Amino acid sequence: MTERELVDLAFTMLERSYVPYSHFPVGAALECADGTVFTGCNVENAAYGSTICAERTAAVKAVSEGHRDDFVRIAIVGNSTDYCWPCGACRQFLFEFAPGLECLVARGDREYVKLPLRELLPHGFGPKSLL
């Protein structure tokens, strides 16, 4: 799958977002080493702390299907004029499984930038930090 195809797939998830509070839909598409792709959207909750972001939705789906150490890249998209950067919790969650993950971060006009997760979360805390 090309970068553009992964970003476009993430955009298809915007319509599935449940965002009655923020009105800010986010979509994600997480690609694994074998080419399997897991998609996700944000799902809000009246108890705000129970909300789950699109990136974590995709990652949880991947883990629940047996993928843990083979995340290659993720596309994260929104309808905003700025790039849809992952929140701190998502950066930490993704770092747990793939410190070397490549992130494709898009804005509403479908333009995107590519950068490594390590740049988004320098000095991240992961399983090796507990040794």
The crossing angle, in degrees rounded to 10, of helices 54-64 and 88-97 is: 20
119 is known as an active-site residue:
no
| Phi/psi at 119 (5° precision) | -75, -30
Please name the residue that has the structure tokens 């998209």.
Answer: 77
CB-based contacts of 79, cutoff 8 Å, min separation 6: 14, 24, 25, 108
**Which residue is catalytic, options 55, 65, 111, 119?**
55
Which letter, b or e, does each residue of 8-31 get, where b requires 16 or more Cβ atoms within 10 Å of its Cβ?
Answer: bbbbebbeebeeeeeeebbbbbbb
Please name the residue that has the structure tokens 């930038």.
Answer: 113
Q: Which residues are catalytic?
A: 55
